[in-house]
Protein backbone atom coordinates (compact mmCIF):
# COMPACT_ATOMS: atom_id res chain seq x y z
CA UNK A 1 0.00 0.00 0.00
CA UNK A 2 1.34 3.42 -0.93
CA UNK A 3 0.86 6.60 1.00
CA UNK A 4 1.35 10.00 -0.56
CA UNK A 5 2.83 12.34 2.00
CA UNK A 6 2.83 16.06 1.27
CA UNK A 7 5.43 17.76 3.33
CA UNK A 8 5.08 21.31 4.62
CA UNK A 9 7.60 23.36 2.72
CA UNK A 10 8.76 25.29 5.76
CA UNK A 11 9.21 22.73 8.54
CA UNK A 12 12.87 22.02 9.37
CA UNK A 13 14.26 19.68 12.02
CA UNK A 14 17.70 20.58 13.38
CA UNK A 15 19.68 17.83 15.14
CA UNK A 16 22.81 18.74 17.10
CA UNK A 17 24.13 17.93 20.56
CA UNK A 18 25.53 21.46 20.88
CA UNK A 19 22.83 23.62 22.50
CA UNK A 20 24.41 26.87 21.31
CA UNK A 21 24.37 25.75 17.68
CA UNK A 22 20.72 24.64 18.05
CA UNK A 23 19.79 28.02 19.54
CA UNK A 24 21.66 30.03 16.88
CA UNK A 25 20.33 28.07 13.91
CA UNK A 26 16.82 28.34 15.37
CA UNK A 27 17.17 32.13 15.74
CA UNK A 28 18.57 32.49 12.23
CA UNK A 29 16.15 30.24 10.34
CA UNK A 30 13.01 31.33 12.16
CA UNK A 31 13.64 34.85 10.80
CA UNK A 32 13.53 33.34 7.29
CA UNK A 33 10.01 32.14 8.03
CA UNK A 34 10.72 28.45 8.67
CA UNK A 35 9.00 26.42 11.36
CA UNK A 36 11.87 24.97 13.36
CA UNK A 37 11.99 21.94 15.64
CA UNK A 38 15.10 21.07 17.61
CA UNK A 39 16.53 17.71 18.68
CA UNK A 40 19.57 17.32 20.94
CA UNK A 41 20.28 13.72 19.88
CA UNK A 42 19.66 11.16 17.17
CA UNK A 43 17.19 9.30 19.38
CA UNK A 44 15.17 12.47 19.94
CA UNK A 45 15.22 13.21 16.19
CA UNK A 46 13.90 9.75 15.31
CA UNK A 47 11.03 10.12 17.82
CA UNK A 48 10.05 13.41 16.16
CA UNK A 49 10.34 12.04 12.60
CA UNK A 50 8.16 9.07 13.56
CA UNK A 51 5.36 11.54 14.34
CA UNK A 52 5.95 14.41 11.92
CA UNK A 53 7.94 14.37 8.71
CA UNK A 54 9.98 17.54 8.22
CA UNK A 55 10.66 18.95 4.79
CA UNK A 56 14.36 19.02 5.63
CA UNK A 57 16.70 17.76 8.34
CA UNK A 58 19.89 19.54 9.35
CA UNK A 59 21.97 16.80 10.98
CA UNK A 60 25.23 17.09 12.89
CA UNK A 61 27.52 14.16 12.15
CA UNK A 62 29.39 14.03 15.47
CA UNK A 63 27.06 13.26 18.34
CA UNK A 64 27.44 11.02 21.39
CA UNK A 65 25.44 7.77 21.72
CA UNK A 66 23.96 7.74 18.21
CA UNK A 67 26.15 9.42 15.58
CA UNK A 68 24.76 11.49 12.73
CA UNK A 69 25.45 8.71 10.23
CA UNK A 70 23.66 6.11 12.41
CA UNK A 71 20.76 8.54 12.78
CA UNK A 72 20.71 9.12 9.03
CA UNK A 73 20.58 5.38 8.30
CA UNK A 74 17.55 5.10 10.63
CA UNK A 75 15.88 8.18 9.11
CA UNK A 76 16.21 6.50 5.70
CA UNK A 77 14.30 3.46 7.04
CA UNK A 78 11.44 5.66 8.32
CA UNK A 79 11.38 7.89 5.26
CA UNK A 80 13.83 7.36 2.37
CA UNK A 81 13.05 10.68 0.73
CA UNK A 82 13.52 13.34 3.42
CA UNK A 83 16.34 15.63 2.28
CA UNK A 84 19.10 15.67 4.89
CA UNK A 85 21.86 18.25 5.05
CA UNK A 86 24.76 16.88 7.07
CA UNK A 87 26.77 19.34 9.17
CA UNK A 88 30.33 18.21 9.73
CA UNK A 89 33.66 19.58 10.83
CA UNK A 90 36.87 19.13 8.85
CA UNK A 91 37.91 16.45 11.36
CA UNK A 92 35.02 14.26 10.11
CA UNK A 93 35.64 14.87 6.41
CA UNK A 94 36.80 11.27 5.82
CA UNK A 95 33.45 9.99 7.18
CA UNK A 96 31.53 12.37 4.92
CA UNK A 97 33.55 11.39 1.84
CA UNK A 98 32.86 7.70 2.48
CA UNK A 99 29.16 8.37 3.09
CA UNK A 100 28.95 10.32 -0.21
CA UNK A 101 30.57 7.34 -2.02
CA UNK A 102 28.00 5.05 -0.36
CA UNK A 103 25.18 7.38 -1.54
CA UNK A 104 24.14 7.97 2.06
CA UNK A 105 24.83 11.72 1.95
CA UNK A 106 23.88 14.09 -0.85
CA UNK A 107 24.19 17.47 0.87
CA UNK A 108 26.66 18.64 3.48
CA UNK A 109 28.05 21.83 4.92
CA UNK A 110 31.33 22.16 6.76
CA UNK A 111 31.73 23.77 10.18
CA UNK A 112 32.42 26.60 10.82
CA UNK A 113 29.93 27.58 8.13
CA UNK A 114 28.66 30.84 6.76
CA UNK A 115 24.98 31.55 7.47
CA UNK A 116 24.48 32.95 3.97
CA UNK A 117 25.80 29.72 2.43
CA UNK A 118 23.54 27.66 4.70
CA UNK A 119 20.52 29.76 3.71
CA UNK A 120 21.32 29.27 0.01
CA UNK A 121 21.85 25.52 0.41
CA UNK A 122 18.54 25.11 2.28
CA UNK A 123 16.70 27.05 -0.45
CA UNK A 124 18.27 24.91 -3.18
CA UNK A 125 17.50 21.64 -1.39
CA UNK A 126 13.90 22.64 -0.68
CA UNK A 127 13.33 23.72 -4.27
CA UNK A 128 14.40 20.31 -5.52
CA UNK A 129 12.24 18.40 -2.97
CA UNK A 130 8.80 20.03 -3.05
CA UNK A 131 6.97 16.82 -2.28
CA UNK A 132 7.81 13.28 -1.39
CA UNK A 133 6.12 10.05 -2.28
CA UNK A 134 6.65 7.33 0.22
CA UNK A 135 5.99 3.66 -0.02
CA UNK A 136 4.86 2.02 3.20
Partner 1 sequence: MNNELLNFLSILLDRITVIKLYLQMDLENSKVDHKIVTLLEVEKVEKEIKEMVDKIMR
Count of positions on this chain that bind partner 1 (CB under 8 A): 18
Which of 6, 8, 27, 130 lies at the binding interface for partner 1 (CB under 8 A)? 27
With H, G, I as helix, E, B as strand and everything else as coil, classify residue 59.
Answer: strand
Least distance (Å) from partner 1 to the CB of residue 134?
A: 33
- CA of 57: how far to CAs of 15, 65, 120, in Å? 7, 19, 15
Rounded Cα gap, residues 31 and 88, in angstroms: 24
Q: How many CA atoms lie within 13 A of 119 on its CB side?
A: 12
Rounded Cα gap, residues 5 and 109, in angstroms: 27
From 14-22, 71-79, 97-105, 123-131, give the range in contact with partner 1 by CB under 8 A.
Answer: 14-22
From 5-13, 33-41, 42-50, 89-97, give the range in contact with partner 1 by CB under 8 A.
Answer: 89-97
Rounded Cα gap, residues 14 and 60, in angstroms: 8
Least distance (Å) from partner 1 to the CB of residue 88?
A: 9
95 binds partner 1 (CB under 8 A): no
With H, G, I as helix, E, B as strand and everything else as coil, classify residue 17.
Answer: coil
Q: Which of residues 29-68 bind partner 1 (CB under 8 A)?
A: 31, 62
Binding site for partner 1 (CB under 8 A): 18, 20-21, 24-25, 27-28, 31, 62, 89-92, 111-115
Amino acid sequence: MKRLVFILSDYILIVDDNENILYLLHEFLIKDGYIIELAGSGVEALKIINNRIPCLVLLDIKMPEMSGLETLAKIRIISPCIPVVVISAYTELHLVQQAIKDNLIKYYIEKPFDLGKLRKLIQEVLQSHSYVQEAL
